[in-house]
A and B are shown apart, each in its own frame.
Chain A
Amino acid sequence: MIHAIAILLAMQLVGEGLARLTGLGIPGPVIGLVLLAVLAALSPKLRKLVEPVATTLLGHLSLLFVPAAVGLIQHLDVFASDFWPLIAALTVSTLLTLIVTALVFIGVERVLPPADPSRKETS
C-alpha cells in the first residue's frame, strides 16, 4: 500500500512541476494522471500495485468533496442577492448539459456503431 501511495503522490508532484514549467493551465493532477496511465500501460506489475489504493480512493470520492461542500453551506449568502435567478440558471444549464451530452454520445453510436464483436450492452 505504501508503494502505491508513494507512486500516486510522486506522479502528482511531477505533474504539478510540469504544470508550472509549461504554464498551459492544465492542472498538475491531470498531468499526473496521464503520466501514470502511460507507466501503468507499459507495466502491468505497476498497475496491479497501485490498483487497490486507486479503487479505494475512487470508491470514496464523495468523502473528498465534503470540505468543499461545507464551504458551500457556509457561503450560501452568495445566493442571497439573486437567489432564484442563480438557482434557475444553474439548474437549467446543468439539465441541458446532461441531456445534450448524453444524446450526442448515444446518437453518434446509433449512426456509427462502435466496431467491436465483444460488445457489452447495458450491464
Chain B
Amino acid sequence: MDSFDVAEFLELWVFLEATPLLWLTVTIVAYAIGDSLSKAVKRHPLANPVILAAGVVAIVLVATSTSYTTYFSGAQFVHFMLGPATVSLAIPLVTNWPEVRRHALAIILALFAGAATAISSVYVMAVLFGLDSTLIWSLVPKSVTTPIAMGISVEFGGIASLTAVFVIATGILGAVMVTPLMNAMRIKEPAARGFAVGIAAHGIGTARAFQVNPVAGLFAGIAMALNGLVTALLVPIIAGLV
C-alpha cells in the first residue's frame, strides 16, 4: 500500500468540494444525527433537530474553511424541497377537513389576534430599544415565511438579508419555547398549540409541531400559510398608524 499522499488527497478534496454531492450528503447526514439525538431525548424542545444539524454543518464548514455559497450549491436541493413540502400540506388539510371546519371561528380570530401581536409587539420593543428604522422594518415581518417576510421588509425600508436572518431566529425561538410555554399555560389541545406555533414561528414551528403531533402539525401549517397573507395585509395598515 502506498503511503498517504497529501497532494493526491488535496486533489480529491478539490474535486469533491466542487460537486453539490458533498454538501448535500453533509446536510442529510447532519440531519440524521440531529434527528437521532432529538429522538434519543424524547423530542426535548431544546434538542431541536434543526439547531443540532445546522450546528454540525457549521462545524464542518468552519473546519474546512468552506464558504456558505459553496455549501449552498449542494444544500440548495434540500432547500428547494420547501416548495413541494408546502404543497404537501394540502393532503392533511383535506384528510382532516371536518376538524378544520369545526375550528373555523377560532382559526380566524386567533389568526388576526396573533398576526397583530407579532407585528406590533416587535415594533414597540424595537422602538423602545432605540433601534434604527432599517432594523425595525427588517424585524417587523419576522413571524412569516421567508419569501413573504423579505418582500414586506423591503417595501418599508428594511433589508431583505437581515429579515431572512431574523425570520430563521424567530422560527427557532418559537420552536424551542412552544412546548414548555403551552405546558405551563395548561393548554393541551393539539389544534391550539399547533396554531399558535404556526403563527409565531412559521415553518420551523410547523416542523416542530409535526414531530409532536400530526394534528398540531396541520394546524401549524394552516396558521403559517394564513399568517403570510394576513401579515402582508396588516403591516401597511399598522405602518399607516405610526
| A interface with B by C-beta (< 8 Å) | 5, 8-9, 11-12, 15, 25-30, 32-37, 40-41, 47, 50-51, 53-55, 57-75, 78-79, 82, 85-86, 88-106, 108-109, 112, 114-116, 119, 121-123
Residue of A nearest to B206 (CB): A61
Which of B50, B103, B199 is packed against the most chain A CB atoms within 10 Å? B50
* B87→A66 contact, CB < 8 A: no
* B91→A50 contact, CB < 8 A: yes
Tell whether A99 pairs with B90 under 8 Å between CB atoms, given A30-B225, A90-B169.
no
For A12, give its contact among B83, B91, B190 (CB under 8 Å). Answer: B83
- Rounded to whole angstroms, the CA-CA distance of A82 and B165 in the bound complex is 14
Tell me, yes or no, whether B160 is within 8 Å of chain A by CB: no
Give 15 CB contacts A-B under 8 Å.
A25-B232, A27-B228, A32-B87, A36-B90, A58-B221, A62-B35, A64-B203, A67-B78, A78-B165, A89-B125, A94-B118, A101-B111, A103-B185, A105-B189, A115-B102
Minimum Cβ distance to chain B for residue A122 (Å):
4
- Rounded to whole angstroms, the CA-CA distance of A86 and B105 in the bound complex is 34
* B168→A33 contact, CB < 8 A: no
Tell whether A72 pairs with B211 under 8 Å between CB atoms, given A54-B92, A89-B122, A93-B122.
no
Residue of B nearest to A85 (CB): B129
- Find chain A residues with CB under 8 A from B147 CB: 27
- Rounded to whole angstroms, the CA-CA distance of A73 and B165 in the bound complex is 9
- Find chain A residues with CB under 8 A from B161 CB: 75
Contacts between the two chains (Cβ within 8 Å), count: 314
User: Taking chain A's interface residues, is the majority helix, strand, or loop, or is none over half, making it mixed?
Assistant: helix
- Rounded to whole angstroms, the CA-CA distance of A66 and B228 in the bound complex is 21
- Rounded to whole angstroms, the CA-CA distance of A12 and B85 in the bound complex is 10
Residue of A nearest to B218 (CB): A58
| B interface with A by C-beta (< 8 Å) | 27-28, 30-31, 34-35, 48-51, 53-55, 57-58, 61, 68, 71-72, 75-76, 78-79, 81-95, 97-98, 102-103, 105-107, 109-111, 113-114, 117-118, 121-122, 125-126, 129-131, 135, 139, 142-143, 145-148, 151, 161-162, 164-166, 168-174, 177-178, 181-182, 185, 187-193, 195-197, 199-201, 203-204, 206-208, 210-211, 213, 215, 217, 221, 223, 225, 228-229, 232
* B170→A29 contact, CB < 8 A: no
Which of B48, B81, B90, B217 is packed against the most chain A CB atoms within 10 Å? B90
Minimum Cβ distance to chain B for residue A105 (Å):
4
- Find chain B residues with CB under 8 A from A72 CB: 54, 165, 168-169, 172
Which of A30, A58, A61, A69 is packed against the most chain B CB atoms within 10 Å? A61
- Find chain A residues with CB under 8 A from B103 CB: 105, 109, 114
- Find chain B residues with CB under 8 A from A95 CB: 177, 181
- Find chain B residues with CB under 8 A from A28 CB: 83
- Rounded to whole angstroms, the CA-CA distance of A70 and B97 in the bound complex is 35
* B113→A85 contact, CB < 8 A: no
Residue of A nearest to B176 (CB): A94
* A123→B215 contact, CB < 8 A: yes
- Find chain A residues with CB under 8 A from B54 CB: 66, 69-70, 72-73
* B87→A8 contact, CB < 8 A: yes
* A36→B87 contact, CB < 8 A: yes
